[in-house]
Amino acid sequence: MTRKIITCCGFSLITFLGIWLFLWLQCPQYLLYHEQNQLFLFTGNYFANSIVVPGGMADYLSEFVVQFYYVPLYGALLTAFILTLSQVFLGLACRRCALSEGAYALAALPSILYVAAMADENTLLSYAMAMLLTSLSLFLFSLYKNDSLLSDTLILAIGFVILYWLAGPFALTFIISGGILCRRYLAVAIALPIAFFIIWGIHSLWFEQYPLSRLLQGINYYRVPEVYPTLLYVNALVTILVSLVTLIKNRVVKDANVISYLTEAAVLLFAVVYIATSFDKDKSRILTYNSLVRQGRWTDIIEKAQKEKPTDFFSLQAINLALGMTGSLTESMFQYNQKGAEGLIGRDRLDNTTQLITAEAFYRLGLTNIAFSTTFDLQEAIMNDRKSGRLMKRMAECMLINGNYKVAAKYLGILRHSLYYADWARHTEKLLGEDNVVEAHPVYGPLRRNAFKKEAFYDSTQIDKILAMLTLDSDGSNKLAWQYFCAAAMLKGNLTTLIGVYNYFSEHHTPPRLSRHVQEAIAMYWTSVHQSFEGIPFPISPEVQQQTAALAQAVMSNKNNPAVWKSVAPDSYGVYFLSNALTQPAESSPEYQPIHE
Amino acid sequence: MKYKILTLLIILFLLGCGRTPTDVKKVASLPPILPDYIDVTIPPGIAPLNFAVVNDKEEVQRIDVTIKGANGDELHTNGKYADFNIDKWHKLTEENRGKKLTVSVCAKIAGEWRQYDDFTINVSPYPLDEWGLTYRRIAPGYEVYSKMGIYQRDLGNFNEFSIIENTMTDGQCYNCHTANRTNPNDFVFHVRGEHGSTMISKGGDCTWLKASNDTLGGSMVYPYWHPSGRYCAFSTNQTRQGFHISGPKRLEVFDLSSDVLVYDTEKNEILLDTLLNTKAWSENTPSFSPDGKWLYFTTCYQQEYPLKHKEEQYNLCRIAFDEKTGNFGSQVDTIFNAVALDKSVTWPRPSYDGKYILFTLSDYGYFSIWHKESDQWLLNTATGEARLAEEINSNDADSFHNWSDNSRWVVFTSRRNDGLYSNLYLTCIDDNGYFSKPFLLPQANPEEYYTQSLYSFNTPDFTKTRVDFNSRAAVDAILSDERIPAQVR
């Protein structure tokens, strides 16, 4: 008996440690993504609004846990705890029904499938919480012993109603698994139609604002309402199958211990293989860049980019922002696979992710109004109608910089009710109405001073011109804007504007230092209309002159052999420019594909 | 036994300690209450004007409020905020029609009770006969909206009910819910997006029209009913948005083109007129006079957008309309020349008694909610004179409005609270054509509600009775995409 208990405990401990370490070390970007798509508040209203829908308690508890994803170590720990506990209760319920030893280990399958389902960034923890509440209910039900069909049916039906309200439609598995565990198949046959009738009744009476399908699939198990991944159905089915396994022992299995160990080993092996193959590398990379930008880890972004050289716009925007923030955008951007101005500033997309880096760039550049509207729309695009701590914080900052203190106060007042943003909100509230303090602030002060000042409408296709105006507005003191302008002009091939703005600065202010790529661009432009660099009025280094001349020569003699002329001036603007002009673009890595816009 | 009584008395004393004002210090100022209900005028039977005392520097621990009627009757509340009993409030306001209520406020701040100067709330002699309000609630976003819907609110209490929400159709956008003179038996609303349509509901029968009509060159938006209930006027705005790069302006809405039309609900016909469908001009925001003989609309010289968006300025005009034939007059009259003032008119709403036209004036354009300078103006139809309704305007956008059926009450949107989120204000007009100080739509816990709400209220209107709308059937109809094409006469 003791050995059995030790084995079970050991198995659960391994499950717990495995999930915890995996989520903490391999998936912090997923956890941070979940955290940024909700804002848990310690208010009565938040609680009341959560629990008024079926499954609301699971939503509330899961969102309470997800707020700890802000620190992935804690978030992973709590998630592992929930999933392990779910396995323990389901396993104990199966064990108490006295049949198969292997069932305890098999009870980990739903939790394992859930971890695999987390590879879809829109799978919500509410589903795992529903699993936990259901397995707890099954365990409690297994403690209760009754010989009466009527009382079992009643308990299953009443238990379902309560559980449905707390956990949502995953509660249907309570009826089926509960019925199987107590061998009351007739009770299942009676209680199940009653359950569907109850859901239909709840929908008709109180929840007509939701389609019936959402009450059957779970209002908040998945972030995008009109989509429901198959894996979530499979998970519920597996929970039922696990309870069915308890029927097997009496007929087939003889050596319980061997079967038990084999099952545990098989489950763990399945977990390792299945979870590892479930996570998509491209999506994982995109979410990683998102989390690194959020944390301002610019050097880490550059280090990561040097290893991967991604080509999707989202990653490129993150890399370019990191280069800009470290002052090296126009020094080294062509070391990466640039593919136009959209890799710098994204075009309008209406999902909750694609424009995250662009919004960050707008903010850091001083395009505060556009940063606010983009961030506002990003928050509004969270498909389960939640708000976002990360985005609301940014919206408050934009309003502070713009001097709209009343709206900033509103956002700060809301953030004060959160866990991880409360201290920041209280501290920032001291800036409200204090123009002098804001202007002296190390972050907000320069952003207010460097803000775009002319009246104009935003147009993503004119981003190079907007950045030129932003640079000119700040008399060159907005270094990030200067870098972004040069980069945008180079990526769009708009070298005339680039030279024009440089000349303006040369005439009216101190001319900005020409970084390597800008020199390369000007040299390219010069050689397109001049035979030599003699008399060039720009400070182009001899090295760049030489490289440009060599590149021009190489292209002339090896026009159809890009590998040759690309090797003459690797990672230079010239190669980027000529590659776009002369060759087909290289194959791109996949873009972030929102499930819904 | 006596020890028990003594213990009980001590417990009761401790429980009561600090809850009722003692050692009150007089403060020679009006209480800083949120919402500002000081000296407002309310209709009898309105929901209680619950409020909180706000203090930026110190926490307000408790407040004690007493309201006295002119006849000496009282209403008392004590708590974190003033939370009045609804039935007693109704009784008090009904018994004090046309009289003043005197409000005494004590607040416990930093352990000290402070007694502020009393203020008054005026109970209007004019009833607000409508059951409640309808409005759209939506985040004041740009291109994306999360949860939104059309709601109705019982004005006698704090109950809000959804008419239709976009959770029913996975993100559809609903707008411009418009009833005929506050009667919810006839109403129209527009669905945007993939399953777009214009729905006309008459006595419970719904007609789902195609959202846009190629002949019209746009959708049927900004509806207004003819008093007969047979016709409904629309404009056909081909709307575009522009986003300001620099503050404080954020958003502009302008039309590439727009005309005005009248839809005949009996014949399923669209009535057009060359005077309302000009190429060089944009006709917009129509409304009928209460006698049904005139169609008001705004018109501006079509500009090149977005370059000349500031030159988009609308005048208020009218054209005769014959309800028997569905014919329009042969002449357009300018009722208010806003262009001469270098301004622009939008949302003309005639009072149902025919005395006034309330409209919004801003520097340019017609989407006034995004114009900080937009204000309410009142035009006297007898004299033709218009005046700035200073008594209800604010430093921020004051915009869309509608009249109650007895033309004594007006509901309008305003961003005066914070400059971004629009809220609903109600005001009463007196016999001389002056409005009372507007009051914010009451909420059960208004401080919490308005500081935490991330929604804007827009297109408000009164509703005589609760809207009885089968939203499930409506959603089925929306998703079915079965639409009736309206015929152009």
Contact B420 A385 (CB under 8 A): no
Do residue B246 and residue A382 have CB atoms under 8 angstroms apart?
no
Least CB–CB distance from A377: residue in B141, B248, B419: B141
For residue A467, with 0-12 CB atoms within 10 Å meaning exposed, 13-18 middle and 19 or more buried, which class applies?
buried
Q: Among residues A248, A279, A310, which one ends one of the domains?
A: A279
* Rounded distance between C-alpha atoms, residue B342 and residue B362, angstroms: 9
What is the SS3 assignment for B487? strand
CB contact under 8 A, A381 and B144: yes
Same domain, A414 and A519: no
Q: Is some CB atom of chain B closer than 8 A to the CB atom of A423?
A: no
Domain shared by A502 and A578, yes or no? yes
Taking CA–CA distances from A348, the nearest residue in chain B reads B143
Enter the ipTM.
0.91
**Do A107 and A204 belong together in one domain?**
yes
Half-sphere exposure of A412 (CA within 13 A, CB side): 21
Is there a domain that residue A594 lies in? no
- Asked whether residue A590 is assigned to any structural domain, the reply reads no
Helices (H) and strands (E) in chain A, counts: 32, 0
Cβ-contact A173, A236 below 8 angstroms: yes
**Chain A residues whose beta carbon lies within 8 Å of the beta carbon of residue B145:** 380
- Whether chain B has a CB inside 8 Å of the CB on A456: the answer is yes
Q: Which residue of B has its CA nearest to A398?
A: B247
A382 part of contact set with chain B, CB < 8 Å:
yes
Q: Are residues A242 and A169 in the same domain?
A: yes
Shortest Cα distance, chain B CAs vs residue A204, angstroms: 9
Nearest chain A Cα distance for residue B217, angstroms: 25
Cα A488 to Cα A338, A340, A528, A544, B174, distances in angstroms = 11, 8, 20, 20, 39
Q: CA-to-CA distance for A419 and A88, rounded, in angstroms?
A: 30
pLDDT per residue over A433-492, tens digit each?
999 999 999 999 999 998 888 888 999 889 999 999 999 888 888 999 999 999 999 999
Question: How far is the alpha carbon of B238 from chain A, nearest alpha carbon, in Å?
Answer: 19
CB-based contact, A376 to chain B, within 8 Å: yes
* CB-CB contact of B286 with B233 (8 Å): yes
State the pLDDT at residue A196. Answer: 92
* Contact A414/B at CB under 8 A: yes
Kindly state whether A402 is in contact with chain B, defined as any CB-CB distance less than 8 angstroms. yes
**Total beta-carbon pairs less than 8 A apart between chain A and chain B:** 116
Q: How close does chain B come to A515, measured CA to CA in Å?
A: 28
Token code pair at residue B380: 């006297």
Weakly modelled stretches of chain A, pLDDT under 70: 1-3, 98-101, 145, 249-256, 581-589, 592, 594-597
User: In terms of domains, do A341 and A264 share one?
Assistant: no
What interhelical angle do A2-21 and A72-96 show, nearest 10? 150
Question: With an 8 Å Cβ cutoff, are B244 and A458 in contact?
Answer: yes
| CB-CB under 8 Å, B146 with A380 | yes
DSSP annotation of A579 reads H
Query: pLDDT digit string (tens) for A70-123?
Result: 999 999 999 999 999 999 999 988 877 755 567 788 899 999 999 999 999 999
Cβ distance of B419 and A406 shorter than 8 Å: yes
Asked if A429 reaches chain B (Cβ–Cβ under 8 Å), the answer is: no
Query: How far is A370 from chain B, CA to nearest CA, in Å?
Result: 6
Domain presence at residue A111:
yes
Q: Does A208 touch chain B (CB under 8 A)?
A: yes
Query: Are A458 and B251 in contact (CB < 8 Å)?
Result: no
Contact A382 B147 (CB under 8 A): no
Residue A14 belongs to a domain: yes
B248 contacts A454? CB cut-off 8 A: no
Do B170 and A376 make contact, defined as CB atoms within 8 angstroms? no
What's A434-448 look like in SS3? CHHHHHHCCCHHHHH
Distance (Å, rounded) from C-alpha A276 to C-alpha A263? Answer: 20
- pLDDT tens per residue, range B396-431: 999 999 999 999 999 999 999 999 999 999 999 999
Please tell me the predicted confidence (pLDDT) of residue A103.
Answer: 77
Cα–Cα–Cα angle for B45, B50, B55, rounded to 5 degrees: 155
Note the pLDDT of residue A37. Answer: 96
- Cβ distance B244 to A414 less than 8 Å, yes or no, reads no
| One domain, residues A261 and A311 | no
d(CA B104, CA B15): 24
For residue B75, the cross-strand partners are B67
Give the count of domains, chain A: 3
Domain range B210-458, its CATH number among 2.120.10, 3.30.1380, 3.90.1010, 3.40.50: 2.120.10
Q: Parse chain B into domains and list their residue ranges.
A: 23-123, 210-458
> Last residue of a domain, which of A449, A465, A494?
A449
Give the whole-angstrom CA distance, residue B368 versus residue B280: 22
Closest CA of chain A from B417, distance in Å: 8
Contacts of A379 in chain B (CB under 8 A): 146
Identify whether residues A501 and A403 lie together within a single domain: no
Candidates B163, B244, B245, B454, partner chain A, best to mutate (most A CBs within 10 A): B245
Q: How far is A364 from chain B (nearest CA, A)?
A: 14
Assess whether A409 and A557 both reside in one domain. Answer: no
| A270 lies in the same domain as A298 | no
Task: Compute and round to an integer the Cα radius of gyration of chain A.
Answer: 30
Of the candidates A335, A390, A383, A529, which has an alpha carbon nearest to the alpha carbon of residue A69? A390
Backbone φ and ψ for B302, nearest 5 degrees, come out as -60, 125
Q: Classify residue B331 by burial, with Cβ atoms within 10 Å: 0-12, 13-18, 19+.
A: exposed
What amino acid occupies position B451?
T
Both tokens assigned to A402:
């713009």
Which residues from chain B sit within 8 angstroms of residue A369, using beta carbons? 243-247, 250
Are A435 and A555 members of one domain?
Answer: no
Helix axes A495-508, A479-492, angle to 10 degrees: 150
Can you give the pLDDT at residue A595?
A: 62
Residues of B at the A interface, defined by Cβ within 8 angstroms: 139, 141-147, 149, 162, 164-165, 167-168, 170-171, 242-252, 306, 417-421, 448, 451-452, 454, 471-472, 475
Structure tokens at A551: 């590149």
Class of domain B23-123: mainly beta
Question: Which amino acid belongs to residue A63?
Answer: E
CATH number, residue A406: 1.25.40
User: Given A209, A414, A453, which is nearest B162 (Cβ)?
Assistant: A209
- Chain B residues close to A361, C-beta within 8 Å: none
Domain, as residue range, for A98: 2-279
Residues of A in contact with B141 (CB under 8 A): 376-377, 380
Q: Which of A220, A216, A165, A205 is nearest to A51 (CA)?
A: A165
- Structure confidence by residue, pLDDT tens digits, B57-75: 888 999 999 999 988 899 9
Helix (H, G, I), strand (E, B) or coil at B113: strand
Burial (CB count <10 Å: 0-12, 13-18, 19+), residue B2: exposed
Amino acid A254: pLDDT: 59
- Does A305 lie in the same domain as A264? no
Q: Do A208 and B146 touch (CB under 8 A)?
A: no
pTM to 2 decimal places: 0.92
| Whole-number Å distance between alpha carbons of A432 and B189 | 41
Distance (Å, whole) CA A97 – CA A180? 10
The residue among A499, A452, A454, A456 whose CA lies nearest residue A474 is A452
H-type helices in B86-165, by residue range? Answer: 86-95
- Name the more confident of B300 and A461: B300
State both tokens at A444.
């907000």
Same domain, A511 and A562: yes
Quick one: residue B42, left, alpha or beta (phi over 0 = left, psi -120 to 50 = alpha)?
A: beta
How far B425 CA sits from the closest chain A CA (Å)? 19
Q: Is A226 in CB contact (< 8 Å) with chain B?
A: yes
Q: What is the DSSP string of B197-241?
A: EEEEEETTEEEEEESEETTTTEE-EEEEE-TTSSEEEEE---EEE
Q: Compare CB distances from B245 to A369, A376, A382 and report the shortest one's residue.
A: A369
Q: How many residues does chain A have?
A: 597
CA distances to A15, A16, A104, A373, B67 from A5, rounded to whole Å, are 15, 16, 11, 57, 69
Tokens 């042969």 locate to B330
Q: Which residue among A377, A383, A453 places its CB closest to the CB of B142?
A: A377
Decide if A504 touches B, using CB distance below 8 A: no
pLDDT digits (tens, 9 = 90+) for B315-374: 999 999 999 999 999 999 999 999 999 999 999 999 999 999 999 999 999 999 999 999
Alpha-carbon separation of residue B425 from A155, B38, B101, B326 (angstroms): 52, 14, 20, 36
Inter-chain touch A381–B170, beta carbons under 8 Å: no
Which chain A positions have a beta carbon within 8 Å of B447's beta carbon? none
Q: Residue B144 is nearest to which of A225, A350, A370, comparing CB atoms?
A: A350
- Are residues B244 and A455, on separate chains, in Cβ contact within 8 Å? yes
Taking CA atoms, what residue in B is nearest to A415? B452
The answer, yes or no, to whether residue B13 has pLDDT greater than 60, is: no
Of B247, B306, B417, the CB nearest to A402: B247
In what helix (H) or strand (E) does residue B4 lie, and over which residues does it extend? helix B2-16
